[in-house]
Amino acid sequence: MKRFAFICTRDKNLKPVTQELLSYLDSLGTKVILLIGQKSIFDAYNTALNKIDAEPDDQVILCHDDIHIISSPDWFNRTLNKQLSRASTGFVGVAGARKLPSSAVWWDGLNQEYTKSELKDNLSGYVYHGTPDKCFPTYFGPLSEVEVLDGLFLASRYDTLKEVGLEKPSYFEGNWDFYDIHYTYKASKLGLFNVTAPIHLIHNSPGDLQGRDSWHKNREAFIKNSLTV
């Protein structure tokens, strides 16, 4: 079994956090495909998937370039191998929602009083934010099977990714938004099981993209074309 990682980054002058991430993955024997200066995350992931020489049960990681994986290598390996040994697993991630809300915002209701029944006890997983010397946890909820996952860190099998398809839907205008919801929601609708797993990582960014026009446009397009309430 081989493991690949697809990582988009802005330019070849890698930040220390990215260098550390590459070193961690390389120590596990992961073949890292660094996607530099891409115009679309959909095209980058899809092109990379079609170029690798992989077997059906080989593992593929899709992740941000600004994360520190702080799980021990042995724990990381055992966790992924356990979850992805099942052909019925769609994606493995660290945070998501058991049911995608009608807003299509997976973290809807976080740190708020639940006024909608669809939001109560809906979130799953945890992520640390900040840097290794100064970070804080964001706890979403107990680890579980989920309908959708955040794209901060996703892992899947090669055959699953080929079945789901990584190309951008024609109805999306933005090239960088809602790919994670599209991929994981589609996997769920295909009858696969997405899960949050005990992989510990620190995200250097809060990941708040709601102010970006393309995020709103892709969200609206997803609701119109894909979301089944």
Across the range 166-189, mean pLDDT stands at 97
The tokens for 49 are 């998937």
Across the range 36-60, mean pLDDT stands at 97
Residue 53 or 208, more confident: 53
Across the range 9-35, mean pLDDT stands at 96
Closest among 172, 24, 155 to 94, alpha carbons compared: 155
The continuous run of DSSP H or E covering 135 comes out as strand 134-141
Q: How far apart are CA 114 and CA 87, in angstroms?
A: 35
Model confidence at 208: pLDDT above 60: no
Lowest-confidence range among 26-40, 51-65, 99-113, 146-160? 99-113
Q: Give me the chain's average pLDDT, please.
A: 93
The answer to whether 145 and 194 are in contact (CB under 8 A) is yes
The answer to whether 194 and 59 are in contact (CB under 8 A) is no
Q: Give the burial string for 136-158 (b: 16+ CB within 10 Å, else e).
A: eebebbeeeebbbbbbbbbbbbb
Q: How far apart are CA 57 and CA 2, in angstroms?
A: 8
Lowest-confidence range among 55-59, 109-113, 189-193? 109-113
**Per-residue pLDDT reduced to its tens digit, 130-150:** 999 999 999 999 999 999 999
The continuous run of DSSP H or E covering 212 comes out as none
Q: Where are the beta strands (DSSP E) in 25-88?
A: 31-36, 59-63, 67-69
**Per-residue pLDDT reduced to its tens digit, 61-114:** 999 999 999 999 999 999 999 999 999 999 999 999 999 999 999 998 886 655
Model confidence at 212: pLDDT above 90: no
Backbone angles phi, psi at 203, to 5 degrees: -100, 125
Model confidence at 117: pLDDT above 60: no
Identify the pLDDT of residue 118.
61
Identify the pLDDT of residue 114.
53
Identify the pLDDT of residue 113.
54
* % of the chain exceeding 70 in pLDDT: 93
Identify the pLDDT of residue 193.
97
Helix (H, G, I), strand (E, B), or coil: what is residue 201? strand
The answer to whether 94 and 107 are in contact (CB under 8 A) is no
Closest among 106, 74, 98, 32 to 200, alpha carbons compared: 74
Model confidence at 210: pLDDT above 90: no
| CA distances from residue 81 to 87, 119, 146, 155, 222 in whole angstroms, order as listed | 12, 31, 19, 10, 32
Identify the pLDDT of residue 116.
56
- Topology of domain 3-225, CATH: Spore Coat Polysaccharide Biosynthesis Protein SpsA; Chain A (3.90.550)
Q: pLDDT band at residue 121, thresholds of 50, 70 and 90?
A: confident
Cα 141 vs. chain centroid, distance in angstroms? Answer: 17
Domain boundaries, the chain: 3-225
Across the range 210-220, mean pLDDT stands at 85
Tell me the CB-side half-sphere exposure of residue 139, using CA atoms within 13 A: 4
Residue type, 132: P
Helix (H, G, I), strand (E, B), or coil: what is residue 83? helix
Q: pLDDT band at residue 211, thresholds of 50, 70 and 90?
A: low
